[in-house]
Amino acid sequence: MTRGSGNSHRLEIAGSMLTDAGCVRSSNEDAVAFVIPSGDDPNAARGSLFVVADGMGGHAAGEIASGLAVEVVRRVYYARKEPVPESLMIAFETANRAILEHGRRTPGCSGMGTTCTALVMQDDQLWLAHVGDSRAYILHKGKLKQLSGDQTLHAQMIREGLLLEEEVEAASGGNVILQALGTSPNIEPAVWEKGIPLTAGDIVILCSDGLWNMVDNETIAEVAGSRAPADACKDLIAAALAAGGYDNVSVGIFSVRPAGGSVAEPQTATRRIAAVAAEDVEDAAVTRVFELPERRS
């Protein structure tokens, strides 16, 4: 996805997203998208949306699940009129139902699922919605802070005091994800009820586990904080590939700055996703809002 800029209030945000299949996987089951409406866009009041999803299910099922998640979340969020937290919750629940329904009626897709991490910037505030182990960070005054909480067995054990962080590498079950869209009708997305304030100079980062499993936080902070977003995305993916690239790798980097600043030309030959009008979403046919890739044999 390409980079863009948009006025939310006193601040604007601009950046890039990039995804790569990695060095081992034959296909890319990650999906990324972002929307930064321009000032005259009717959706501008809804703010900017950034999404990363990491599919699972084997063959083409994982890329179908992640693609559905990204597209349904995008469309439903911009179709709703509720406050940001409620709209994000509805978008995630709708995506979950869409993936479940597609899995039930499509041979070979049963049991597919996907992580999904989404951020919304509206009126200089940032909101998070999250399921799984993709991550969102904020780089504020040079310090990197993880915004999302990993929904994995290891992370839960650490939170409950059953496992120390230094014991993680030696412990089994590290790849057990406790929640994913499309795997249960009763998911509980983590959605912030209140946003956090953004300030000029902040950098927002989203990524799949193919990045954070391969590249340490210090490198993520250094690269994101010292390079233009498009270059930082390319360099972080290169770092993940150099470390082995065992998984698909996705990253989005967005810089926050005063509104009205100059906007550089896009640095990658990728495309920006547009917002969607409310009338384009059919509540009774959520699985048809996305043109699914054909399942490979």
Architecture of domain 5-278: 4-Layer Sandwich (3.60)
Distance, in Å, from the CA atom of 114 to the CA atom of 131, rounded to the nearest integer, reads 8
Integer CA distances (angstroms), 5 to 69, 231, 272, in order: 24, 17, 11
pLDDT of residue 169: 60
Whether 161 and 101 have beta carbons less than 8 Å apart is answered as no
pLDDT of residue 289: 35
Integer CA distances (angstroms), 88 to 93, 129, 189, in order: 9, 6, 9
Whether 289 and 282 have beta carbons less than 8 Å apart is answered as yes
Q: Do the bridges between strand 113-114 and strand 116-122 make them parallel or antiparallel, or are there none, so unpaired? A: unpaired
pLDDT of residue 158: 67
Which residues does residue 137 pair with via DSSP β-bridges, in sequence order?
146, 205
Domain definitions of the chain by residue range: 5-278
pLDDT of residue 177: 85
Distance, in Å, from the CA atom of 71 to the CA atom of 272, rounded to the nearest integer, reads 13
pLDDT of residue 188: 94
Q: What is the pTM of this model?
A: 0.84
Per-block mean pLDDT, blocks of 10 residues, the chain (297 long): 49 96 93 92 94 83 94 96 97 96 89 96 97 97 95 69 61 72 94 97 97 96 97 98 96 94 40 38 35 37
Q: What are phi and psi of 61, to 5 degrees?
A: -60, -40
pLDDT of residue 111: 86
pLDDT of residue 31: 96
